[in-house]
Structure 1
């Protein structure tokens, strides 16, 4: 139901006053002219809805669609209910339609002939493979240290990197600071990870960066130094699907938490300072922080419990 406007109440009051005191006095009191009062008195038929302003939109237009055009649009829309505006316009043009796209849009909108788009297919993620023991698979990735955290003039403009490895079973994490981002640095990091992790590592999972693989370079058949090093240690290298960082979701999520808990509140005045603070944070705040996927145990607790059960 259309609402009653203030103008409608004003006109009703004006008519009621004119009925009691006359049109002339009503025009003086309401500061309007007699013709205005007479017009609304003629239109008023009892309900206040009759005092609503009527549409001033013209019933006809010299450029409106012709009956043949309307039939063409109606027939083509019936055969192409899902065609978008541009596709539908092109199909019409091929059948002699000469109107513009905005003109067609206004007509379709007015007549309710807009395309009914079917819903996009919903992405249903597959259940992620669960690990049975620590070391079965470890995710590795790199995080670029935010430049706003570098405060000393000697380090402003430089790039520091956080190399991260996280065990999928226990969420135990190993991090290390580096000043370079290449396959040689990750080879060193892999050596340090093997020494730090208390159990044999079976598989390391990474993205498709050139520091890990030559898969998308001209040397795609040649293994990187990082891959050769993993082979020497008897560790399998698994690459995630391209452009799907969610497959490395555990290490990606840990980097997001680093932004909230560490980088948002810390500043670094040298590379040594950054490396020291990163090590303290990971050992004190991350590996000892309870997590819901671990039944509110910390990664260190889960790893220690597994080692005690052996």
Structure 2
């Protein structure tokens, strides 16, 4: 039983008890025939007494359609029957359609309605509509203690986070190996200040691919880079392998380019949260429900989705602007174009 149904049952029981109490008032009134004395004895106001007396003395229509004397002592529902600020059925259908098409939250639906359809409604109203339509599942979670944290502020190039995502590829090579699919690797870099992303697909996950990716990152961004932050994977460092004492090729290439190579604490992916979040976006918007059978097609999809992410996809944290436009407006970037030619697609 839901909380709403339980509340309605409690209200019905409470109202029936109040109706019995009101009947007692009029039993006392039949004995005394003095309204002031009844009000004094029962502890109610005269206006309240006469309101219910008027309800009780209503003349029935005589056609069996009236209420019994007991039902007349039940309070009417005070719930309004109409809401002048309710959304029209057309707006509700539009909200539901956008939600099902994009799978995004109330904030994104609000932006699409305002920007594309010129429909001005509130984010809260959209959220309540989605709840009523059963399109939002409320998660139960424990309330966390409030901890004040001020995120550090960066300029473009101050910190670029890099990571690797596994991607399934069901091509002819996988068939020859007797497998349903094989893994290829999406190297991703994200500038923390602007949110501009670069990603490339590689067939191997090793130091050679990492160095090649770093070279492309250097040519792709329209501003100089100071820090590259990665996890402790063997494609970026030998930190977790004490048997190897020489410098990793990726770290060496960072020094040649004048970058500092930061390593996050082991088993702590939250330190690379920005690039990890973009991997989730790629999984939800690019890879989920799709099967790739050609490495060339995967490269083309990678380029198309990369352009869309940087130049068109609105982001709430950036005032519903795409990353490139946000960087141009906030940081006055002098070079306003990204070098997609490094992908060679």
In structure 2, which of residues 198, 215, 226 is the aligned counterpart of residue 202 of structure 1? 226
Give the RMSD, CA atoms, in angstroms: 2.5
Q: Distance in 1 between matches of 2:294 and 2:310?
A: 23
Q: Secondary structure at the match of 1:266?
A: coil
Structure 2 match to 1:128: 151
What is the deviation of 1:303?
2.7
Structure 2 match to 1:11: none
Indicate yes or no: 2:211 matched with 1:187.
Answer: yes
8 A Cα contact 2:310 2:324, kept in partner: no
Q: Secondary structure at the match of 2:219?
A: helix
Q: Distance in 1 between matches of 2:164 and 2:183?
A: 12
8 A Cα contact 1:173 1:287, kept in partner: no
Q: Secondary structure at the match of 2:162?
A: strand
Q: Secondary structure at the match of 1:154?
A: helix
Q: Distance in 1 between matches of 2:301 and 2:293?
A: 11
Deviations 1:79-135 (CA, angstroms, capped at 9, x unpaired): xxxxxxxxxxxxxxxxxxxxxxxxxxxxxxxxxxxxxxxx9x96947433221x211
8 A Cα contact 1:172 1:287, kept in partner: no
8 A Cα contact 2:170 2:182, kept in partner: no
8 A Cα contact 1:170 1:303, kept in partner: yes
Once the two structures are overlaid, the 10-residue window that deviates more, 270-279 or 165-174, is 270-279
Indicate yes or no: 2:196 matched with 1:177.
Answer: no
Structure 1 length normalisation: TM-score?
0.56
8 A Cα contact 2:227 2:259, kept in partner: yes
Indicate yes or no: 2:328 matched with 1:304.
Answer: yes
What is the deviation of 1:308?
4.4
Structure 2 length normalisation: TM-score?
0.50
Contiguous gaps of at least 5 residues in structure 2 = 1-141, 175-179, 336-345
Classify 1:209/1:290 alpha carbon distance in 2 versus 1 (closer, same or farther; 3 Å): same
In structure 1, which of residues 122, 147, 154 is the aligned counterpart of residue 173 of structure 2? 154
| Equivalences, count | 188
Structure 2 match to 1:142: 164
Q: Distance in 2 between matches of 1:182 and 1:127?
A: 36
Q: Secondary structure at the match of 1:136?
A: coil
Q: Distance in 1 between matches of 2:198 and 2:242?
A: 32
Classify 1:183/1:287 alpha carbon distance in 2 versus 1 (closer, same or farther; 3 Å): farther
Q: Secondary structure at the match of 1:175?
A: strand
Q: Distance in 2 between matches of 1:262 and 1:135?
A: 26
Q: Distance in 2 between matches of 1:125 and 1:151?
A: 47
Contiguous gaps of at least 5 residues in structure 1 = 1-118
What is the deviation of 1:190?
0.2
